[in-house]
Amino acid sequence: MAGEKACIQAVQNPEQRRASLDEFSRGLAISLLTLGISWAGLAAAPPPAPAQQNYAVSVQNLQAPKKAKKILSQALKALKKNHRNRGLRLLSEAIHIAPYWAAPYFTRGVVFLRSQLYPQALQNLQTAARLGPDSSGMALTAIGDVYRHLHNFAMATLYLHRATASRTLPWQAYYELGRVNYSTGHYRRAGTNFKLALNLDPRHALITHVVLGNVYIKLGQYAQARREYLKYLHMRPDAPEKAQIKQILKKIDVVQRFASIRH
């Protein structure tokens, strides 16, 4: 509690602190995406506004010791090189130094999610969501994706709907919500959520063009599917999925030619 009081006393400009937290949270999430660690990330009411005590804990994200931040950076570099054990060890060190800092719990939870260690993933991600309410959208999205992998679509929907109300990376929450909709056969609803993800962040949600194409194929709207696939290839000509998408486009051409002959 002494640490929380010190954090409250340290806040001179809450809006500036909050903006800094948003910037850090976004940077962390994008760093994880570049590692290939994707929590790819639904009808619950939005979470209540955090109490003052919870906000004090989230401020500790900003006040985390420099040593802990340095260790987290080292952990991310290790994970990018696929040194999972070293990365996890460094994350544990960061947590030991700054036990009220949400970022290392979140990162460790995502690593466990990627490793299909779902109970450990949930434990860490729920801790991250509790400690960092201002950046909890990322953790809630990841929790939703854990439940999607467990085929518990009701719980996935619950957490992802809460995540869409967050101020931090809501596009990822809509993207994961769309994936849940797709998995449960609600293709029109999936399309709506994928479009929301694209509108919120066209650059980082680029892969959404591909899944939108998949949705349109399920709906039998082949012209729209073709348009989405071509948009993706135009914006990312070196995409690793390029060959697979070209095969899909060839199949679409065959279907459309057959349909024109029938008419």
For residue 253, is it within any domain? no
Q: Show the domain range for 201.
A: 2-205
Question: Alpha-carbon distance 102 to 91, whole Å?
Answer: 11
Average pLDDT over residues 37-45: 31
CATH of the domain at 40: 1.25.40.10
For residue 256, is it within any domain? no
For residue 191, is it within any domain? yes
The maximal CA–CA distance of the chain, rounded, in angstroms, is: 76
**Per-residue pLDDT tens over the stretch 78-119:** 999 999 999 999 999 999 999 999 999 999 999 999 999 999
For residue 57, is it within any domain? yes
Domain count, the chain: 1
For residue 168, is it within any domain? yes
pTM of the model: 0.72
For residue 243, is it within any domain? no
For residue 100, is it within any domain? yes
Tell me the angle at which helices 136-149 and 14-34 cross, rounded to the nearest 10 degrees: 30
Report the mean per-residue pLDDT for the chain.
Answer: 77
Q: Is the dihedral of CA 164, 113, 124, 94 positive or negative?
A: negative
Task: Decide: residue 102, CB within 10 A, 0-12 exposed, 13-18 middle, 19+ buried.
Answer: buried
The predicted pLDDT at position 55 comes to: 29
User: Within 13 A of 235's CA, how many CA atoms are on the CB side?
Assistant: 15
For residue 226, is it within any domain? no
Do the beta carbons of residue 147 and residue 155 sit within 8 Å? Answer: yes
